[in-house]
Amino acid sequence: MARERKFTDDELFKATKSLLIEEGYDAFTFSKLASIMEVSRGSIYKYYENKDELISEFLMYEMNLFLKGFNELDKSGDFQTQFYLVIDFIFQHSEIHQILEIINQIPKKSSNRVSSNQTQLNTYHTDMYKQFQSLIEQGKKERVIKSHLSDAIILGMTFQTIAIPNHFGIPQDEWVASIREILSEGMFQRE
Amino acid sequence: MARERKFTDDELFKATKSLLIEEGYDAFTFSKLASIMEVSRGSIYKYYENKDELISEFLMYEMNLFLKGFNELDKSGDFQTQFYLVIDFIFQHSEIHQILEIINQIPKKSSNRVSSNQTQLNTYHTDMYKQFQSLIEQGKKERVIKSHLSDAIILGMTFQTIAIPNHFGIPQDEWVASIREILSEGMFQRE
DNA sequence: AGTCAAAGTGACACTTGTGTCATTAATAAA
DNA sequence: TTTATTAATGACACAAGTGTCACTTTGACT
C-alpha cells in the first residue's frame, strides 16, 4: 500500500559493482551512482546511511555469492583435479581480487553496521583461505606439492596470478593454461 | 641574494613517496604533504602547479633511479644468473609495483608538462619491459625457458610476484627464494 | 474519489580540497 | 644599513562531496 520502488537492491549492487571496479573506492560517490541509476542522490540515503554502509553490504553480497560457488566445487577428485578446478573458478571470478582489496579500503572508524560487516568479511576471507589451505595440505600429503614450500606462499602466489594484467590480450584459455602450468611445473624446461 | 629555502626537492620527493605509498594517489593532498613537511600549503605551489605535476615529476625521478640500477645489473652471466639477479633486484625495489600503478592513475586531461611526463614514463616502462623481454629471449635460446610460453605471461607473472602480500611475515630471504623456485620449477614435486 | 504510507526529490548547510595572490619575512650584495 | 630578490604565508573564492529534511509524488486499498 505504498509507492513503487524505482530500483531494487540488485540493480543498486550491479551499478555499485561496475562503478567500484571502474573507478575504485575513492572515486566512488553517491552522485555518480545516482546518476547511473537515474535517480536522485537523496533516494539512496533512504536505504543506506552512507557510502561505507552501501559498499560493505555490497561486498557481503558479492563474497557470499563467490563463497557459495567456491564451496560447491567438486571435492571428490584427487589433488590435482581439485587444484585445477579452483584455478579455473577463480579466473572465472577475477573481480574477486579487487573485491578483496576494497575490503581493506573501508575506513575502520565507521558505524557499527559497517564494523560488523568488516569483521564478517574478514572471517569469510580467512575461511576461504583456510579451505584453500586444506587443499594445499592434501597436495602435500599426496606428494604432489613440494613440502618445503610454505602454505602462505603457495596461497599468495596462486591468488595473485588473477591480477596479472593481460596487456597483450592473450586469449583467456591460453592465459589460464599457461599460468596453471607455470604454477605447477615452472617456466624452466626440464632437462 | 635571496631567502633560504625551507625544503629541497629531495625532501619533497621523500615525503611524497611515503604519502603516496601509504595512502595512494587519491588520498594524496597538498594539505597532507605540507603538514608532513611542516610548511604552508601555498609554498608548494611555488614549485609545482598542482598534485599531478608534482607526482609526475616524482615518478620520473623514481623511475630514473630504478632504471639506472636495472641497467647497471651485470649482463655477463648466463640466462639463469641474470634472471636471478633481476628477481633479487626487483624485490629489493618492491615499491616499483605501486609506482607503476600510480602512473596510470594520473588523469589524461592534465597540463602539457604532465602529459609529456606521462609519455616519457610510458616509454621508460616499455623500455624496461623490452629489456626484460630480451632476457627472456636469451632464456629461450639457451633452452632454459620453455619456448611455448608467451613472453607476456612470463613477464607479467614475474613482475606480479612483487605484489604478493606477505601476510604471515615470512623472512624476505625465504620468501624470494620460494618465489624464484616456483617461477622456475613450479610448486609440484618432480616424480 | 479519497486516504495515507512509503518513495523520491532538491535545496540547504557543512566539510574538504584547490589554486591564487597580496602581504610579510629573510638574506646576500651593494 | 639599505636594497633587491626570492621564499613563505594565510586569507579568499571556488568546486565537489556529504548528510538532512520538509515537501511532493505515487498507487494500493478503502
Residue A133 in grid coordinates:
589451505
Residues with CB under 7 A from strand C: A 1-7, 39-43, 45-46; B 1-4, 29-32, 41-42, 45, 49-51
Residue A103 in grid coordinates:
575490503
Answer for the pair B118, B41: CB distance below 8 angstroms, yes or no: no
Residues with CB under 7 A from strand D: A 1-4, 29-32, 41-42, 45, 49-51; B 1-7, 39-43, 45-46
**How high is the pLDDT of residue A156?**
97
As a whole number of angstroms, the distance between CA B104 and CA B100 comes to 7
As a whole number of angstroms, the distance between CA A97 and CA A89 comes to 13
Q: Is there a contact between A189 and B146 if contact means CB atoms under 8 Å apart? A: yes
**How high is the pLDDT of residue A162?**
97
**Residue B145 bridge partners (DSSP):** A188
Task: Identify the contact set of chain B against chain A, taking CB-CB distances under 8 A.
Answer: 24, 26-27, 143-146, 149-150, 152-154, 156-157, 160-161, 163-168, 170, 174-175, 178-179, 181-190
User: H/E element holding A164?
Assistant: none
Tell me which chain A residue has its CA closest to the CA of residue B156: A164
Q: Is A145 helix (H, G, I), strand (E, B) or coil?
A: strand
Give the CATH number for residue B76: 1.10.357
A32 CA, D14 C1': separation in Å? 21
Which residue's CA is nearest to the C1' of nucleotide C28?
A: B1
Report the predicted TM-score, pTM, of the whole model to 2 decimal places. 0.93
B47, B62, B78: which is the final residue of a domain?
B47
Find the mean pLDDT for residues B179-190.
96
Give domain status of residue A112, yes or no.
Answer: yes
Tell me which chain B residue has its CA closest to the CA of residue A163: B160
pLDDT digits (tens, 9 = 90+) for B147-169: 999 999 999 999 999 999 999 99
**How high is the pLDDT of residue A164?**
97
Same domain, B70 and B164: yes
pLDDT digits (tens, 9 = 90+) for A15-60: 999 999 999 999 999 999 999 999 999 999 999 999 999 999 999 9
Give the model's confidence band at B19: pLDDT under 50 very low, under 70 low, under 90 confident, else very high: very high
Could you give the C-alpha distances from B88 to A22, A152, B11, B180, in angstroms and in order? 33, 20, 28, 9
Q: Which nucleotide has the least CA–C1' distance to A38?
A: C8
Same domain, B33 and B80: no
Q: Is there a contact between B189 and A146 if contact means CB atoms under 8 Å apart? A: yes
Give domain status of residue A17, yes or no.
Answer: yes
Give domain status of residue B99, yes or no.
Answer: yes
Could you give the C-alpha distances from B25 to A113, A163, A181, B32, in angstroms and in order? 28, 19, 35, 12
Give the CATH number for residue A17: 1.10.10.60
Same domain, A66 and A38: no
Same domain, B29 and B118: no
Same domain, A60 and A101: yes
Same domain, A101 and A167: yes
What values do phi and psi take at B143, rounded to 5?
Answer: 60, 30
Give domain status of residue B5, yes or no.
Answer: yes
Q: Is there a contact between B188 and A146 if contact means CB atoms under 8 Å apart? A: yes
Tell me which chain B residue has its CA closest to the CA of residue A25: B26
Low-confidence ranges of chain A (pLDDT < 50): none
**How high is the pLDDT of residue B116?**
96
Give domain status of residue B190, yes or no.
Answer: no
Give domain status of residue B104, yes or no.
Answer: yes
| Domain count of the fold of chain B | 2
Nearest Cα of chain A lies from the Cα of B80 at a distance, in angstroms, of 10
**How high is the pLDDT of residue B164?**
97
Give the CATH number for residue B20: 1.10.10
Q: Is there a contact between B150 and A174 if contact means CB atoms under 8 Å apart? A: yes
Q: Which nucleotide has the least CA–C1' distance to A43?
A: C8
Give domain status of residue A13, yes or no.
Answer: yes
Mark the nucleotides of strand C covered by protein, meaning any atom under 7 Å from a CB. 4-11, 16-22, 25-29
Which residue's CA is nearest to the C1' of nucleotide D27?
A: A3
Which residue's CA is nearest to the C1' of nucleotide D16?
A: A31
**A105, amino acid identity:** Q
Same domain, A13 and A66: no
Smallest CA-to-CA distance from B121 within B91, B92, B101, B95 is with: B101
What is the overall mean pLDDT for chain B?
A: 96
As a whole number of angstroms, the distance between CA B119 and CA B130 comes to 16
**How high is the pLDDT of residue B1?**
62
**How high is the pLDDT of residue B109?**
78
Residues ≥6 apart with Cβ < 8 Å to B50 = B111
**How high is the pLDDT of residue B190?**
84
Task: Identify the domain containing residue B22 by its residue range.
Answer: 1-47
pLDDT digits (tens, 9 = 90+) for B87-140: 999 999 999 999 999 999 999 877 889 999 999 999 999 999 999 999 999 999
As a whole number of angstroms, the distance between CA B32 and CA B38 comes to 10
What values do phi and psi take at B42, rounded to 5?
Answer: -55, -35
**How high is the pLDDT of residue B111?**
87
Q: Which nucleotide has the least CA–C1' distance to B42?
A: D9
- Within 8 A of A182 by CB-CB distance, chain B residues are 149, 153-154, 157, 183, 186
Same domain, A64 and A155: yes
Q: How many other CB atoms are there within 10 angstroms of residue B110's CB atom?
A: 17
Give domain status of residue A191, yes or no.
Answer: no
Answer for the pair A78, A143: CB distance below 8 angstroms, yes or no: no
**How high is the pLDDT of residue A131?**
93
Find the mean pLDDT for residues B30-37.
98
Same domain, A181 and A87: yes
Same domain, A42 and A113: no
Same domain, B4 and B36: yes
Size of interface A-B (CB pairs under 8 A): 112
As a whole number of angstroms, the distance between CA B174 and CA A156 comes to 14
Same domain, A105 and A35: no
